[in-house]
């Protein structure tokens, strides 16, 4: 269990992150302590050292120029003078006798750099701590001069700073390690929910979703995003499954009819009586199959971005007018009225062939499902940068529960008995989306309308806009 736990922590990103923050904290505390150390210890110590060195040089000059008696007076006067830091000294003769001193002891061997001397004093049974930062001068006659200043307070500050640094580092490491363990466990608990859901989705359960804890934190937001993604994947897979079923269903009948026509054609050939109508029906069925496959291929190419969308400047007014004229004979045959309200000119950027096919498909659907002797209304308007194209008929329209699915390939509602491929709205929808637009279904006072919204261009925009 222990090796597993240690291995887990070693590979835990949260634990590593906490340890990194602990390291940064220790480094930050060390830098801060270093700055404080310089300000409260190093700088005062250097300043005191400079004072001691200056005093040593001055007193050594007095001895050399004026003799030992004057030096003794100067040392005693220095010891009694009020100062921020107590003065210490000792003047030792060439024979090793202390001529004057206020230090309890000193090194028997001369020192040639700064050093510290314990200069504690006892008064009425109590100890007064002093630490003399000292510098020595050895004269030519063998006598020694040691002068110093008290730096006990600097030493105390140094000890406290070192203790504080050590304590802060230990506490930081302990708290950081404990926090790293708990944070790692907390993060792993949240990530485990994601891993569990992902594993079950991999195993085929597309209905599985990531559990949220209701905290509204980043993990809940991630879970919500993943759940939304899984929703779309599930819907896409269901749509693909429905499309596959629909393709099989839609192609089974024409393939059966084609097979039957070819058998009859073969029988007629064997009997020496070729009947042209069999070949014509077989050709018609093959043409229908070809149309289905071409429509499916075009939809797939547009959806996956493999169809290069031309971004020419397109006059929608011309396209809608041409499409309306194309279907006018069919409108007349069905005793319908085609009411076109087309603003002009209205421009957009896009592929004119795809846009014309989209317009034609919507008009074709409206004609197929319109009641006889009713009116079909085609409208093209522009408001600001927004273009609105709509086709309305007086039929029953599409039920609310069917509207989310009518753009699926081969989808046909329960009451849809009009012949067709079932791909018209699918192709129209992908064309509109490929042009950055939106297709909507709207109930109107007179019936039902399919509305397309596109981005428009100003009439004076150049062709590369």
Other C-beta atoms within 10 Å of 185: how many? 14
In the chain, where does the domain assigned CATH 3.30.565.10 lie?
312-457
Q: Average pLDDT of the chain?
A: 80
Using pLDDT thresholds of 50, 70 and 90, give the confidence band for residue 13: low
- ∠92-67-62 over CA atoms, to 5°? 90
- C-alpha to C-alpha distance for 386 and 326, rounded to whole angstroms: 26
User: Is the dihedral angle over the CA atoms 457, 461, 463, 465 positive or is it negative?
Assistant: negative
Assigned token pair, 344? 């002009």
Taking only the tens place, the pLDDT of each residue in 424-447 is: 788 888 888 888 899 998 888 878
pLDDT of residue 222: 84
Question: For 264-316, what is each residue's pLDDT tens digit?
Answer: 777 776 666 666 676 776 676 676 666 666 666 666 666 666 566 667 888 99
pLDDT at 116: 92
In the chain, the N- to C-terminal Cα span, in Å, equals 67
pLDDT at 274: 60
Cβ-based neighbours of 1, under 8 Å, separated by 6 or more: none
**Which residue blocks in 121-217 are alpha helix, DSSP H?**
152-202
Query: Where in the sequence of the chain do the CATH 1.10.287 domains occur?
Result: 218-303
DSSP assignment of 5-17: HHHHHHT-HHHHH
Q: How many residues does the chain have?
A: 465
- pTM of the predicted model as reported, rounded to 2 decimal places: 0.47
For residues 397-422, average pLDDT: 67
102-116, 154-168, 300-314, 359-373: which range is least confident on average?
Answer: 300-314
Does domain 218-303 fall under CATH 1.10.10? My reply is no
* 312-457, CATH topology level: Heat Shock Protein 90 (3.30.565)
pLDDT greater than 90 at residue 74: yes
Q: Which residues of 67-84 are buried (b: 16+ CB within 10 A; e: fewer)?
A: ebeebbebbeebbeeeee
How is 327-355 classified by DSSP, letter by letter? Answer: HHHHHHHTT-EEEEEE-S--EEEE-HHHH
Q: Judge whether residue 207 has pLDDT over 60.
A: yes
Which of left, alpha, beta for 410 (phi over 0: left; psi -120 to 50: alpha)? left
- The answer to whether the bond into 345 is cis (omega within 30° of 0) is yes
Each residue's pLDDT tens digit, 321-342? 999 998 899 899 989 999 999 8
Dihedral sign, CA of 51, 57, 58, 60? positive
* 3-state secondary structure (DSSP) of residue 269: helix
Interval 36-52: pLDDT, tens: 889 989 999 999 999 99
């Amino acid at each position: 269990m222990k090796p597993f736990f240690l291995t887990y922590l070693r590979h835990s990103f949260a634990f590593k992150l906490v340890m990194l923050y602990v390291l940064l904290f220790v480094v930050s505390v060390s830098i801060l302590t270093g700055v404080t150390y310089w300000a409260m210890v190093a700088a005062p110590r250097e300043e005191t050292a400079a004072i001691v060195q200056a005093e040593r040089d001055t007193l050594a000059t007095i001895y050399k120029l004026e003799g030992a008696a004057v030096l003794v007076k100067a040392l005693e006067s220095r010891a009694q003078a009020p100062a921020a830091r107590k003065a210490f000294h000792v003047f030792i003769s060439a024979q090793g006798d202390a001529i004057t001193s206020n230090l309890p002891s000193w090194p028997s061997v001369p020192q040639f750099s700064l050093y510290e001397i314990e200069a504690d004093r006892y008064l009425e049974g109590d100890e007064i701590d002093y630490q003399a930062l000292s510098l020595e001068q050895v004269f030519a006659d063998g006598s020694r001069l040691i002068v110093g200043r008290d730096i006990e307070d600097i030493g105390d500050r140094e000890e406290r700073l070192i203790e504080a640094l050590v304590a802060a580092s230990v506490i930081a490491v302990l708290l950081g390690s404990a926090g790293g363990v708990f944070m790692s466990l907390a993060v792993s608990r949240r990530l485990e929910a994601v891993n569990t859901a992902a594993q079950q989705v991999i195993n085929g359960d597309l209905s599985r979703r990531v559990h949220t804890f209701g905290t509204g934190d980043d993990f809940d937001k991630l879970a919500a995003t993943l759940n939304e993604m899984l929703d779309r994947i599930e819907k896409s897979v269901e749509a693909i499954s429905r499309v596959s079923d629909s393709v099989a269903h839609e192609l089974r009948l024409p393939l059966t009819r084609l097979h039957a026509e070819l058998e009859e054609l073969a029988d007629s050939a064997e009997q020496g009586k070729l009947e042209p109508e069999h070949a014509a029906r077989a050709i018609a069925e093959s043409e229908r199959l070809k149309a289905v496959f071409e429509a499916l291929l075009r939809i797939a190419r547009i959806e996956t971005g493999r169809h290069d969308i031309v971004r020419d400047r397109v006059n929608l007014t011309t396209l809608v007018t041409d499409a309306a004229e194309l279907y006018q004979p069919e409108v007349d045959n069905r005793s319908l009225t085609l009411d076109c309200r087309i603003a002009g000119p209205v421009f957009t950027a896009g592929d004119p062939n795809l846009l014309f096919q989209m317009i034609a498909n919507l008009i074709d659907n409206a004609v197929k499902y319109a009641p006889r002797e009713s009116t079909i209304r085609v409208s093209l308007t522009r408001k600001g940068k927004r273009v609105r194209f709509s086709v309305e008929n007086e039929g029953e329209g599409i039920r609310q529960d069917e509207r989310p699915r009518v753009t699926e390939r081969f989808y046909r509602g329960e009451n849809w008995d009009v012949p067709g491929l079932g791909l018209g709205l699918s192709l129209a929808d992908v064309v509109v989306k490929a042009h950055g637009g939106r297709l909507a279904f709207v109930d109107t006072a007179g019936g039902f309308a399919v509305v397309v919204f596109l981005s428009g261009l100003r009439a004076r925009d150049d062709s590369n806009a």
